[in-house]
Amino acid sequence: MVKTGFDPATYRLNLHLHLLISSGRLAQARDLFDRMAPHRRNAFSLNRMLSGYARFGQAAAAHSLFLSSPPRLRDAVTWTVMMGALAAAPGRAADAVSLFRDMLREGVAPDRVAVSTVLNVPADSTTTASLHPFAVKLGLLRSSVVVCNTLLDAYCKHGLLSAGRRVFRETPHRDAITYNAIIMGCSKEGLHGEALDLFADMRRAGLGATQFTFSSVLTVATGTGDLRLGRQVHALVARSISACNVFVNNSLLDLYSKCDCLGEMEKLFDEMPERDNVSYNVMIAGYAWSRCAGTVLRLFREMQLLGFDRQALPYATLLSVAGSLPHVGIGKQIHAQLVLLGLSSEDLVGNALIDMYSKCGMLDAAKANFANKNDKTGVSWTAMITGHVQNGRQEEALQLFCDMRRAGLSPDRATFSSIIKASSSLAMIGLGRQLHSYLIRSGHMSSVFSGSALLDMYAKCGCLDEALQTFDEMPERNSISWNAVISAYAHYGQAKNAIKMFEGMLRYGFNPDSVTFLSVLSACSHNGLAEECMKYFELMKHEYGMSPWKEHYSCVIDTLGRVGHFDKVQKMLSEMPFEDDPIIWSSILHSCRIHGNQDLARVAAEKLFSMGPTDATPYVILSNIYAKAGKWEDAARVKKTMRDRGLRKESGYSWVEFKQKIYSFSSNDQTNPMIAEIKDELERLYKEMDKQGYKPDTSCALHQVDDDLKLESLKYHSERLAIAFALINTPPGTPIRVMKNLSACLDCHAVIKMMSKIVNRDIIVRDSSRFHHFKDGVCSCGDYW
């Protein structure tokens, strides 16, 4: 005390002040501070009082004391403590930076702690750049690794990676924190290769990896879907002290979750010595993505029993699970909890409620939640638009998009993705092209999500060439882009190109996901490639460790059935870890129709009768199978059963777009004002086809009627009327695109092939499962569908 020149009385007062603040008695400490004689107070007294206010979050009181204190008591520590207090206070970051400038104006030289403190302030990038020269002028970048690291970290957090790289290169003495900052900056900007090179440099420099290093490298592995790299990092973690760190383990959980490695994710979770709220959230999100609803609900209940903060539970994820099942009962229970906790009006869960009710088909409930939101953000509008698209209300979705624009909100890439899907479902290529132009004008064209949505739209509107051009012109691609182009080839029946794209995706370093394999298997199904289908199904399970969805099994069963491998179909059914459903038995029934397997057809039809008692389709197919085999009594019995149960066959209809308006046709439609001209055009075409040897396939016509009626019923099927309408109203040589709700019959398929040759036009027909591109008398499906 004597050596430092302190007055004994001042020393005792400061000691008392310190004890009061340490025990949290701020009011008493301030009373003592105020009662100290002015000549007894010194810089320590002021700094200790300011630190106490800062420690207990009372930035306003600290700032008031700071402003009222005489300049003689303020030193560099005083300014630094005050800057730290303001930086930690909500909404006062700008005040902290302003205080640093005041410090310089008053001639107080900042030290490395002061500079590091202000660099840590969550201000904007301009502030960081303006503080850089001060650090250089004071020589801190050469003498203090702490300042270098803080400046580097600030640049990386603001996305100024080039400036960050410059600081990194000029840092004379690098430590683990230096590398962590630059690695994290690179991984954040998607520069995964550079981040890995820096990690390798760090290892060569003999610097030990910390929890932040491992987390950053795992972010790289997760971003690239590089499971092998992730496992290598896991091995390094297991040999380090970070093995018990919940922060690192959560990053590993996230990696395994996003790579669909549920087994490894679960094993790690079970072995974790410590789990937090994030651990459970990652697990729930992983299982939700893989549609393991039972496990999601079990983990959620476990979180509740363990006493986690109820307001921090993953309600939005649970609502997403309820929507994906769909299970509105679960969704309503979560909704009730949110109301009790007073959280239902929060933006995140409010939007999740709109999404859940939409996916459960309760659009009115979704609208009510949307209407009750006080602050309708762009995300809220997008959720509502998406809900209408999901429920087949595309026109209303388009109207909502216009209302959103009128409300002064700018659509983002998610909004564009949804509204482009609306135009895809309506097959309105004119509207889709308008949206494409709007995307370019709004600056969203560079977004990989918008590009992928456009690709999908062009593909679903029958414009494969434009879809492929969109893919080729995308400045950036991700797994969604590759999935979209593989799916496009699959729906056009171009299995070889789909597989070629799949191989290209692997070459470019993108790992396939469950959706990728679903598209590849679908492509194999459309072309009857049973051997290739089984190859990719096994690859998915064993090479990539993915658990197939029911849809994957459905594709495999469909492929095997179409080529007549019914024994393998039965084997696959017995191995499938899911309950069979109408989609699977429908595909089996269609395969039986192709190969005339009456016994299995009867079994499949009975299954479908019990699963979907209101669907007439299996009755119609079974009746046609019997009729084709000449078993008219059996066919009539099935038809009678269908009538007795009050079921009617779904009417087939086709539609075509002309001048941004949709024109629909049903079989033998008489409602179109141009019907006389349409029939004349068809008659002209039939005469040309007769000259080329066309023979109608009456097996596709009504049964048990005379031949003249059979021929008449074939002539005016809905797709033929739509094509004739387009031929009359569009310029010669332009492609014709027709959409149809059911599969085309064999005779229509043959007729459209001949039409395409006669009129010298491309005719693209999208039926209920795929596209048929007719050109010069040939169909892209190779007569296999």
User: 715 - beta bridge partners?
Assistant: none
Spatial separation of the C-alpha atoms in residues 524 and 535, rounded to whole Å: 10
What is residue 494's predicted lDDT score, i.e. its pLDDT? 92
Q: How far apart are CA 398 and CA 385, in angstroms?
A: 8
Give the lowest-confidence range in 250-254, 332-336, 644-648, 753-757. Answer: 644-648
E strand segments, 309-364: none
Instruction: Provide the whole-model pTM.
Output: 0.59
Residue 481 CB-density burial (10 A; 0-12 exposed, 13-18 middle, 19+ buried) = buried
Helix (H, G, I), strand (E, B) or coil at 110: coil
Q: Is the pLDDT of residue 343 over 70?
A: yes
* CA distance linking residue 764 with residue 463, whole number of Å: 9
Tell the burial category of 216 from Cβ atoms under 10 Å away from its Cβ (0-12, 13-18, 19+): buried
Cα distances from 382 to residues 316, 320, 344, 376, 418, in angstroms, run 16, 15, 18, 10, 7
DSSP states of 142-200:
HH-HHHHHHHHHHHHHTT-HHHHHHHHHH-SS--HHHHHHHHHHHHHTT-HHHHHHHHH
- For residue 705, pLDDT beyond 50: no
pLDDT higher than threshold 90 for residue 468? yes
- Return d(Cα 327, Cα 309) in angstroms, integer: 25
Higher pLDDT, 675 or 123: 675
pLDDT digits (tens, 9 = 90+) for 315-342: 888 898 888 878 888 899 999 988 888 8
Q: Which residue reads 């388009």 in tokens?
A: 398
pLDDT of 274 higher than 60: yes
CA distance 562 to 557: 9
- Binned at pLDDT 50, 70 and 90, residue 743 comes out as confident
Counting residues of the chain whose pLDDT is more than 90, the rounded percentage is 32
Strands 736-740 and 763-766: parallel
CA-nearest of 658, 770, 636, 779 to 725 is 658
Residue 728 sits at the vertex; the CA angle it makes with 724 and 733, to the nearest 5 degrees, is: 95
> What confidence tens digit (pLDDT) does each residue in 578-595 have?
888 888 988 898 898 888
Q: CA 156 → CA 68, 91, 134, 160, 161, distances in Å?
A: 37, 22, 19, 6, 5
- Predicted confidence (pLDDT) at residue 721 exceeds the cutoff of 90: yes
Angle at 226 between CA 223 and CA 229, to 5 degrees: 115
Q: Which helix (H) or strand (E) holds 273?
A: none
For residues 520 and 620, give the distance between their C-alpha atoms in angstroms, rounded to a whole number.
30
pLDDT bin (cut points 50, 70, 90) of residue 97 is confident
- Spatial strand order of the sheet with 771-775 comes to 661-666, 653-658, 736-740, 763-766, 771-775, 778-779
Cβ within 8 Å of residue 591, ≥6 positions away: 558, 561, 562, 564, 566, 569, 597
**pLDDT recorded at residue 143:** 66
Angle at 429 between CA 423 and CA 431, to 5 degrees: 60
Q: Which residues contact 506 (CB under 8 A, 6 or more apart)?
A: 512
Mean of pLDDT values over 459-478: 89
Beta carbons within 10 angstroms of residue 69's beta carbon: 18
Q: CB–CB of 543/576 below 8 Å?
A: no
Q: How far apart are CA 382 and CA 100, in angstroms?
A: 43
User: 351-376 pLDDT, tens per residue?
Assistant: 999 999 999 999 999 999 998 887 88
The tens digit of pLDDT for each residue in 175-230 reads: 888 898 899 888 888 788 898 999 999 989 888 888 888 988 998 888 888 888 89
Q: What is the mean pLDDT of residues 40-63?
A: 89
Who wins on pLDDT, 139 or 522? Answer: 522
Which three-class secondary structure state does DSSP give residue 124?
coil
